Structure 1
Amino acid sequence: MTDKVFDNNQVSIAGEVISEFEYSHDVFGEGFYTIDVSVGRLSNSSDVIPLMISERLMDVKKSYVGKYIEILGQFRSYNRHEENRNRLVLSVFVREVKICDEGYESPKPNYIFLDGYVCKQPIYRKTPLGREIADILLAVNRPYGKSDYIPCICWGRNARFAENFTVGGHIQVFGRIQSREYQKKVGDEDFERRVAYEVSVSKLECIEDN
């Protein structure tokens, strides 16, 4: 049962470590830490993706900055309470990790597959330049009655397809994880730079449940 649930949330990431370990939390005496990995795009830009990793998988007292690593894991979410509201925090939970030799090229440097359920009516819109976009919030089940809530963004034909999805619909998405900077207004005149994470969808399928 557990292995089947893990199959519905699969991530492969390969990139350069660009931060030191930062302590996150403990679970039954096992410490978990975050690090950031820079993953290149074909456009020569890059996505900075946060990883959540156990101290039992890597030596968290050591610096890996500048090292190239490849990981397998899951895209997970939790709600962090701040400023009288909950904020959705996303990171890749690492299940396997490999330190790569210089020049190594991963076959899947940024890949994600999700099997889940639409939990908000998709929002379809067009950019000022006429590009079609649809936003989906996907609930992906986890063991012990938990779920991860993953924002996904579709383009073009996929956006038009997603516009007709209904809440509770069962879908599968394939794509990559991307990071996006934005300005959050704090107070009357101040703005704070933040980073949002989402799945950029390349392929989308509806699943007919029996």
Structure 2
Amino acid sequence: MSKGQDKKEIMPNFLKDLNTEILEQLTAGSSEKNVVGLAGDVKELKAVEDICGLRFKGYLGLIEVERPSGITDTLVVAFAWNTPHKSTQGVEFDVLREYPAGSRLLLYGKMQTLKEFSTGRQLVFVLADFVALSPKAEQQNDIVLVGEIVYKPTYRETPRGKRISDIFVKVKNQLTKCSSLIPCICWNETADEVANWLPGDTVKLLGRLQSREYEKLIEEIYADGVVAERVTETRTAYEVSVHTIKKEEVKNEC
């Protein structure tokens, strides 16, 4: 019996069937393996000359997108200095003035990661190749990834009984031409299935990028051999919450 098999629901999952159909339509006959569509409100935006020490002339910012549950995710986005001008057929404008806090932006791009070597932290962000002001756009947060699983899935259960499988999916890094490892989280019945998959398995998935805060233990202070104080720091984690995921079968070539 696989993990969590005795807890599976017997009712049909119509939402999963719909998501599977959407995933198949988006990936059928397509060479795109990393597609992100976002529409949300600017929280902050600044001009930068680098990202995590890597030279990058453009903009780095935070976009807020609300989940169906009402929780707001604050997501990191980046785009080159000339990307906004492409949506206006080359007309240049002051990006920071035209994209103030609270304005609604529509972005399309790819999931990426970069490591900040001074701190060791991993930046998970959307590198947009299209961005435009779109006041009437409905909020959007959709991601399609096709790539290999890196590392063995981590299976766990929350105090509230939700089963989770954490995986990393390898995609091409557009800035370094190496690889980005995208953190993804699968839930319940999907988590049960993914828990048995292996590094090197190719998967395609549909999900949304989410943020969550957590407390990172920085230091434990001891007194008389007992922990007297724990120093923590609030950090934000970013991961793709998976709606639907499928393992691609390897074709045997004669």
Alpha-carbon contact 2:63-2:76 (below 8 Å) kept: yes
* Cα distance in 1, alignment partners of residues 56 and 246 from structure 2: 37
Q: Is 1:34 the equivalent of 2:60?
A: yes
- Structure 2: runs of 5+ lacking an equivalent: 1-29, 85-93, 221-229
* Cα distance in 2, alignment partners of residues 179 and 138 from structure 1: 17
Instruction: Return the offset for 1:41.
Output: 0.8
- Structure 1: runs of 5+ lacking an equivalent: none
SS at match of 1:157: helix
Amino acid in the other structure paired with 1:196: A
Q: Is 1:157 the equivalent of 2:189?
A: yes
* Cα distance in 2, alignment partners of residues 202 and 35 from structure 1: 26
**Which residue in 2 is equivalent to 1:19?**
44
* Cα distance in 2, alignment partners of residues 146 and 60 from structure 1: 30
Q: Is 1:206 the equivalent of 2:247?
A: yes
SS at match of 1:183: strand
2:124 aligns with one of 64, 72, 90? 90
Structure 1 vs Structure 2 CA RMSD: 2.3
**Which residue in 2 is equivalent to 1:121?**
152
Q: Write out aligned runs for 1:1-210 (5 A).
A: 7-25=32-50, 31-58=57-84, 59-62=94-97, 63-83=99-119, 86-101=120-135, 103-106=136-139, 109-142=140-173, 145-188=177-220, 189-210=230-251
- Runs (4+) of structure 1 exceeding 4 A deviation are 26-30, 142-145
Instruction: Return the offset for 1:159.
Output: 0.2
Instruction: Return the offset for 1:57.
Output: 2.2
Alpha-carbon contact 2:105-2:132 (below 8 Å) kept: yes
**Which residue in 1 is equivalent to 2:227?**
none
Alpha-carbon contact 1:21-1:60 (below 8 Å) kept: no
* Cα distance in 2, alignment partners of residues 113 and 35 from structure 1: 22
Instruction: Return the offset for 1:33.
Output: 2.0
State the aligned residue count.
201
Q: Which has the larger strand fraction?
A: 1
| Cα pair distance change 1:198/1:28, threshold 3 Å | closer
% identical aligned pairs: 29
| Cα pair distance change 1:180/1:29, threshold 3 Å | closer
Alpha-carbon contact 1:75-1:90 (below 8 Å) kept: yes
Amino acid in the other structure paired with 1:128: P
SS at match of 1:160: helix
SS at match of 1:158: helix
Normalised to the residue count of structure 1, the TM-score between the two structures is 0.87
Q: Show CA shifts across 1:98-137 (max 9, x none).
A: 2012x4325xx00000001011100111112221111011
| Cα pair distance change 1:67/1:160, threshold 3 Å | same
Instruction: Return the offset for 1:87.
Output: 2.3
* Bigger-Rg structure (1/2): 2
Instruction: Return the offset for 1:160.
Output: 0.7
Instruction: Return the offset for 1:11.
Output: 0.2
* Cα distance in 2, alignment partners of residues 24 and 114 from structure 1: 28
Q: Which has the larger helix fraction?
A: 2
* Cα distance in 2, alignment partners of residues 179 and 28 from structure 1: 24
* Cα distance in 2, alignment partners of residues 195 and 29 from structure 1: 24
Normalised to the residue count of structure 2, the TM-score between the two structures is 0.73
* Cα distance in 2, alignment partners of residues 153 and 29 from structure 1: 31
Amino acid in the other structure paired with 1:93: L
**Which residue in 1 is equivalent to 2:20?**
none
